[in-house]
Chains A and B, each alone.
Chain A
């Protein structure tokens, strides 16, 4: 059963601009592991943009937007063994997702040189399957 969907498009140059203008921006938005991952890539901004889009898409899918005490670092993008991006929740985002009965979160990210897009689908538990 669907809880919500969310999508977000981010301009890579905007990330680069933000990064150059404020040294605290990256720490504010991304977890240490995300920073490590992005900085290990040839074009870090592209990957930061994808992750930022994923976080925004998640907030939209949850139906809240950023707020309710959630921080960007409460939503972390990780990869499985095959490199597929997944969302891992922490603190307030985790509590809120549980409150809303979110069971499964699907994430897809894509990027070009200039932009990144993310799409998130959140599912509630499939009650029919349990009957």
Chain B
């Protein structure tokens, strides 16, 4: 099925994906033909749920391939699952759960498709001895390469590390196999610290076995940490489903709607600040006193967002920093937010978050390639002032040796990318050229970011 010149927007409706031709194939053969047929203009860009906040999926009037018909879980073994590229992670996770299995990484945006999970950046707080990116558990991928042929990458493939960071530039992944594990009870609790207390306990946090995700409150100098750890217990009837449901409802609906309402309809800055702060205090209370359980399960953390954003709309950015210097970064970040507000009148209207993510060299462009990182992720409803805030934030981050993500750090440019990734850009570009010499999959976004910078 194909249509001409469709205006397809990303989920948050901030980016036109510029589809020259649109296809929603139902078979591998059809997919091969789409790539092979030169009447379908380049670049050919595969798309899933369109949750990326950057232009990584823009088709530049080329061929837009909607992968959502590839939505089946094909095979589950003791420690692997094979899934089609357009299947939502949350759908696959639910099927795994029925079989007593789970993914190693269970990201909040459950709408991420498997092709994206295999080849793009993702984030979740790492558990002891584990990684924080889904792609790191990819062990096999089947893709349609630039010649329109099937190519299989397994763990021993010399380009596997790059494939995990290839963002569709090597081809269209239509099937992927990930490592999985038996489902385990997940213990969760929250604690709130002042900035000074956080600085004090930071050395202990570095030794902690728990996974660490956190909510940041720059204007109240506070941080609420979510500690999660697995227990050996198998989940039984006592498993608490309500805890994550409650948290997810806040993330999915209540917090974005509240943030949007306050930003849009309350014209008085002081009253706005009061309302944000009161809401944040309530959230901290709920997190610390209600979202507590000895037995939840990780797949329940995933949120299924509606196809149309509606009141669920929120957007975010991410940069990662070495965990050793994170207290310093956090202090600077809080100051940066306050200074930016003073100068421009803009502050992010949702809870900022962050994750501790283990050193991980499985994907080439891993933001924790060199060492374990902690991230600082501004979150907002994306109202006026957000983009300017992010541009300033990007400069803040690059000056502090931050590492971004191509699909989740908005307003990246060539200078930032070359400073952050250095020689890896050249290594990747060389492989990309080998895989796709005629630039069948290369869009302007990546061409610009990866162009040489001297």
Contact = CB atoms under 8 A, between A and B. Distances in A.
Contacts, number: 40
Contacts of A21: 423, 426
A42 B429 CA distance: 29
Nearest to B413: A65
Contact of B448 (A14, A28, A65): A65
Nearest to B415: A65
B430 interface: yes
A21 B423 CA distance: 9
A35 to B, nearest CB: 15
A15 B454 contact: yes
A83 interface: no
Contacts of B444: 67-69
A65 B414 CA distance: 10
A69 B447 contact: yes
A66 B451 contact: yes
A69 B61 CA distance: 11
A14 B454 contact: yes
B342 to A, nearest CB: 30
Nearest to A68: B444
Interface residues of A, number: 20
A110 interface: no
Contacts of B433: 24
Residue in B447, B451, B454 whose Cβ sees the most chain A Cβ within 10 Å? B454
A18 interface: yes
A90 to B, nearest CB: 15
Nearest to A18: B452
Contact of B430 (A11, A15, A22, A72): A22
A69 B58 CA distance: 12
Interface string A59-73: 000000111110110
A80 B448 CA distance: 30
B60 interface: yes
Interface string B52-66: 000000001000000
A14 B454 CA distance: 6
Given A11-B454, A14-B454, A15-B454, A24 B448 contact: no
A25 interface: yes
Given A21-B423, A24-B430, A71 B452 contact: no
B389 to A, nearest CB: 21
Interface string B134-145: 000000000000
A57 interface: no
Contacts of B430: 22, 24
A46 B60 CA distance: 35
Nearest to A64: B448
A52 interface: yes
Given A69-B60, A71-B447, A25 B426 contact: yes
A14 B46 CA distance: 36
Interface of B is mostly: helix
B454 A18 contact: yes
A10 interface: yes
B222 to A, nearest CB: 40
B452 A29 contact: yes
Contacts of B451: 66, 72
Contacts of A15: 454
Interface in A1-56: 10-11, 14-15, 18, 21-22, 24-25, 28-29, 49, 52
B249 to A, nearest CB: 40
A83 B405 CA distance: 45
Contacts of B60: 69
A68 B429 CA distance: 19
Contacts of A68: 444
A28 B447 CA distance: 11
B414 A66 contact: yes
Contacts of B414: 65-66
A73 B72 CA distance: 43
A74 to B, nearest CB: 11
B448 A52 contact: no
Contacts of B426: 18, 21-22, 25
A10 B454 contact: yes
Contacts of B447: 66-67, 69, 71
A52 B452 CA distance: 10
Contacts of A52: 452, 454
Nearest to A23: B430
A115 to B, nearest CB: 10
Interface of A: 10-11, 14-15, 18, 21-22, 24-25, 28-29, 49, 52, 65-69, 71-72
Closest 9 CB pairs of A and B: A67-B448, A14-B454, A66-B451, A69-B444, A22-B426, A10-B454, A66-B448, A24-B430, A67-B444
Given A22-B430, A65-B448, A69-B60, 7 more contacts: A18-B454, A22-B426, A25-B452, A65-B413, A65-B414, A69-B447, A71-B447
Interface of B: 60, 413-414, 423, 426, 429-430, 433, 444, 447-448, 451-452, 454
18 contacts: A10-B454, A11-B454, A18-B452, A18-B454, A21-B426, A24-B429, A25-B426, A29-B452, A49-B454, A52-B454, A65-B413, A65-B414, A66-B448, A66-B451, A67-B447, A68-B444, A69-B60, A72-B451
